[in-house]
Structure 1
Amino acid sequence: MKILIVLTYYRPHWTGLTQYAARLAEGLAKKGHQVEVICSQHDKETALEETVNKVKIFRVPYQFRFLRSVIMLGFFGKIIPRINKNEVVLVFLPLQEIVFVSFLTKIFRKKLFLVHNGDLVLPEKGNCLNRLTEKIYYRTTSLGIKNSEGIIIHTEDYAKNSKHLSLFKDKWRVILPPFIIPEIKEKQVENFLKKYKLQGKKLIGFSGRFVEEKGVDYLLEAIPLVIKKIPEAHFVFAGEHKVNYEKFWEKIEPLIKKYQKHISLLGVLNQEEIFVFYKAIEVLVIPSRTDCFPFAQIEAMLSGTPVVCTDIPGARWAIKETGMGELVKPKDPLELTEGIVRVIKNKESYRENFSKAQRIFNDKKSILDYEKLLEA
């Protein structure tokens, strides 16, 4: 089967979405399929064309950035021959060129599937451009869904609570992303703790971008409440802190400074260190306002670490299915505190569900499910 994967960012760009796309592309290529990827050249140091793990990658230079995306004038000329050559087109949303891509698949009579990674949620206050961008996204994506064979979702829990996805129930195709977790040795954890001067502390972790929807402010507000109950607690944050398309850092910086002795900002960790991070912490916290399917949550579980997560559509699914953590009321630092303390004091009881998490999140099954869908 000849498969074209289309998305804005791909490795070495580091997000949960890009890791999902890369694991899927390489997993399909490993099974003998011809897989191509077309994406932006987000970093001028990356090659315009290269083959990585049997996946042929085409990168298109961009002219300027716009909010979370980029404008690529050369995209249209590059993608036409790629769609013509392949049998199936798989688009990872959000993609601002989705209408153009969906019409091309109709013209060339190619199968089109979309991979949904969460509704577009921009900051609520004070920006008419955000509201306009959301409206354009939903209208263009709706056209893409209508022209597709189906839209791949992580869970029905999120889809049925999405104002957008709930309109297209006949198009839903549920497939879990593939997760590949490396084996982490105790020596790696020791070196990690030493490098970041974290020895002797009970580490409470967060992994993700500092944007409004991720709810980092609620976790920061919970810090003094947790410290009262667990004095040796220390909060470690992995991920991009100062995001250029939101001004959320300015909002939370006073809290960062206020509780700085209880906080370590690790920045974006590399592909090895992020899994050492999951192994080193007592609990991972997902304090999101809204979140489709936080990959960090699953990676932590598959590393043997329990999770505290807000009880919101999509994000709550993994804990309900595995039992590897606690669900708490969203937007409530006190509830978050109680969940964190409960998990830390009873960590081993949550880890008893580790084998169940491994059965549910099986990368081989995920690739097989994709094969069956794309070949049907």
Structure 2
Amino acid sequence: MPDKSYDLTVAVTYYEPYVSGLTHTARGIAEGMANRGWRVAVVAAQHDPDLPLRDTVGGVDVYRTPVLMRVSRAVVAPRYPLLAGHLARHSALFHINLPMPEAGLLMPLARPVPVVSRLHTDPYLPPSRLSRMFVHATDATARAAIRRSAAVVASSDDQAHASRFWPLIRGRNFTPITPPCLDRRGGQPRYRETRALHVGFLGRIVEDKGIRYLVRAFQRIADPDARLLIAGNYHAVAGGSNLADIQAEIERDSRVRILGELRGREVDDFYASIDVFTLPAVAGSFGIVLAEALMCGVPSVTTDLPGSRYPVTSTGFGRVVPPRDPKALAGAIAELATMPRDWREQKARAARARFSAAASLDAHEVLFTTLRGRAAGRRDR
């Protein structure tokens, strides 16, 4: 067990180098607070056996526990609760990321340290008997964590109010804080092939992203020089990828490109290569990739899901369409492709002000500092 003490310990199942909105948020908060002088630890599962059990990444001490087995998107890591509890008790604050099947076990192990729970999304899996059982169990652990939290965070009021957990959250100390999003301007259009319309998607290649409906929407666009760029991880994806289904949808459309996983400057170049961004999710919450596209000046289309629609509805920089509706999606893409440059620039400035990493970290630091101060006051009495 580690013998160091920390200002903040962040508990998350998957962490760097795994890529998802949840891990991006956890890493952004952890490294952002470390850059502001906080001593930060992250406790995660060793989702890849080649990863070290102890590491330092971006000024953050990362502790991983071996994985015994996997169940759908979850991992079974028997030592995880004990290590997380130990780190929590040696920290001023404990920050847990939900949904997490282990959440209910962590809360008593973290006492008496104040806990901040961030609800990223309500648990979702493609329907099956096993998935319903898993979601029900994960819901129960999330409720246990929320009940014992000193504060609860979600990405927006829109997401929180529509959550299955809202009746419980509204009685807690609740604060909406958007995830820290990166300003990815300055990329080169390395993925652009023609002067015609380029439509983009970036995210994990999984069922709940609704990519098959995007492919069907794009096939309504007749221009032979138009391109659809689909970027994201489809190899080691928790719960498995639906790449084969998407490839079947593409069939003989030679205009579609599957780029695979992009990182760092590659992501900047991706945004610089497209005219319209799309996030056609059928389940999910706040889309960091969506907010970052808006910050780059790329108008975006997303689906009318609580939380997921928030970056577009809060800025007016795009269109919201019903889930699983290729016709509406195609119409919105065509409309946004004609929007003038000055409108894009005005909306992009508003998006950068709303979703910047600095604004998110400022809000997190205020919340964390307040809770830490209250805990210190109670200890002094």
Normalised by the size of structure 1, how large is the TM-score? Answer: 0.91
What residue number does 1:39 align with? 44
Query: For the structure 1 residues 252 and 180, does the alpha-carbon distance in structure 2 shift closer, same or farther, using more than 3 Å as the test?
Result: closer
CA-to-partner distance for each residue in 1:265-284, whole Å, 9 max, x for gaps? 01111222112101211111
- For the residue of structure 1 that corresponds to 2:126, the secondary structure is coil
How do residues 334-373 of structure 1 correspond to structure 2 at under 5 angstroms?
334-348=327-341, 349-373=343-367
Query: For the structure 1 residues 60 and 347, does the alpha-carbon distance in structure 2 shift closer, same or farther, using more than 3 Å as the test?
Result: farther
Which amino acid letter does the alignment assign opposite residue 113 of structure 2? Answer: K
Contact 1:324 1:351 in 2 (8 A): no
What residue number does 1:217 align with? 212
- Whole-angstrom distance in 2 between the partners of 1:210 and 1:83: 34
What residue number does 1:208 align with? 203
- Whole-angstrom distance in 1 between the partners of 2:275 and 2:72: 35
- Whole-angstrom distance in 1 between the partners of 2:257 and 2:160: 35
Q: Which runs of no fewer than 5 residues in structure 1 stay unpaired?
A: none
CA-to-partner distance for each residue in 1:49-80, whole Å, 9 max, x for gaps? 12223211111111122211211122233223
- Whole-angstrom distance in 1 between the partners of 2:184 and 2:249: 34
How do residues 79-90 of structure 1 correspond to structure 2 at under 5 angstroms?
79-90=84-95
Deviation at 1:183, TM superposition (A): 4.3
Count the aligned residue pairs. Answer: 362
- Whole-angstrom distance in 1 between the partners of 2:19 and 2:282: 22
Which amino acid letter does the alignment assign opposite residue 181 of structure 1? Answer: D
- Whole-angstrom distance in 2 between the partners of 1:275 and 1:114: 31
- For the residue of structure 1 that corresponds to 2:50, the secondary structure is coil
1:317 has 2:310 as partner: yes
Deviation at 1:167, TM superposition (A): 3.4
What residue number does 1:152 align with? 153
Which amino acid letter does the alignment assign opposite residue 202 of structure 2? Answer: S
Indicate the structure with greater helix content: 1
- Whole-angstrom distance in 2 between the partners of 1:247 and 1:270: 19
Query: For the structure 1 residues 238 and 308, does the alpha-carbon distance in structure 2 shift closer, same or farther, using more than 3 Å as the test?
Result: same
Contact 1:152 1:173 in 2 (8 A): yes
What residue number does 2:124 align with? 121
How do residues 274-353 of structure 1 correspond to structure 2 at under 5 angstroms?
274-348=267-341, 349-353=343-347
Deviation above 3 Å: which 4+ runs of structure 1?
241-244, 246-253
Contact 1:323 1:350 in 2 (8 A): no
Deviation at 1:219, TM superposition (A): 0.9
What residue number does 1:91 align with? 96
- Whole-angstrom distance in 2 between the partners of 1:224 and 1:368: 43
RMSD across aligned C-alpha pairs, in angstroms? 1.9
Deviation at 1:182, TM superposition (A): 4.1
Deviation at 1:33, TM superposition (A): 1.1
CA-to-partner distance for each residue in 1:284-304, whole Å, 9 max, x for gaps? 111112221111101111122
Q: Which runs of no fewer than 5 residues in structure 2 stay unpaired?
A: 1-5, 371-381
Query: For the structure 1 residues 290 and 372, does the alpha-carbon distance in structure 2 shift closer, same or farther, using more than 3 Å as the test?
Result: same
Which amino acid letter does the alignment assign opposite residue 182 of structure 2? Answer: I
Contact 1:279 1:300 in 2 (8 A): no
Which amino acid letter does the alignment assign opposite residue 90 of structure 2? Answer: K
- Whole-angstrom distance in 2 between the partners of 1:29 and 1:244: 28
Contact 1:155 1:317 in 2 (8 A): yes
- For the residue of structure 1 that corresponds to 2:62, the secondary structure is strand
Question: Which of 18, 22, 33 is equivalent to 1:17?
Answer: 22
- For the residue of structure 1 that corresponds to 2:301, the secondary structure is strand
Query: For the structure 1 residues 247 and 274, does the alpha-carbon distance in structure 2 shift closer, same or farther, using more than 3 Å as the test?
Result: closer
Query: For the structure 1 residues 53 and 241, does the alpha-carbon distance in structure 2 shift closer, same or farther, using more than 3 Å as the test?
Result: closer
- For the residue of structure 2 that corresponds to 1:81, the secondary structure is helix
Q: Percent identity?
A: 27
- Whole-angstrom distance in 1 between the partners of 2:100 and 2:211: 26
Which amino acid letter does the alignment assign opposite residue 170 of structure 2? Answer: K
Deviation at 1:369, TM superposition (A): 1.1
How do residues 34-113 of structure 1 correspond to structure 2 at under 5 angstroms?
34-106=39-111, 109-113=112-116
Question: Which of 159, 176, 179 is equivalent to 2:178?
Answer: 176
Which amino acid letter does the alignment assign opposite residue 141 of structure 2? Answer: T
Query: For the structure 1 residues 27 and 62, does the alpha-carbon distance in structure 2 shift closer, same or farther, using more than 3 Å as the test?
Result: same
- For the residue of structure 1 that corresponds to 2:170, the secondary structure is helix
Question: Which of 250, 253, 262 is equivalent to 1:256?
Answer: 250
- Whole-angstrom distance in 2 between the partners of 1:68 and 1:59: 17
1:2 has 2:7 as partner: yes
Contact 2:146 2:168 in 1 (8 A): no
- Whole-angstrom distance in 1 between the partners of 2:45 and 2:234: 23
Which amino acid letter does the alignment assign opposite residue 4 of structure 1? Answer: T
Contact 1:237 1:267 in 2 (8 A): yes
- Whole-angstrom distance in 2 between the partners of 1:163 and 1:344: 36
Deviation at 1:105, TM superposition (A): 2.1
- Whole-angstrom distance in 2 between the partners of 1:363 and 1:298: 11
- For the residue of structure 2 that corresponds to 1:225, the secondary structure is coil
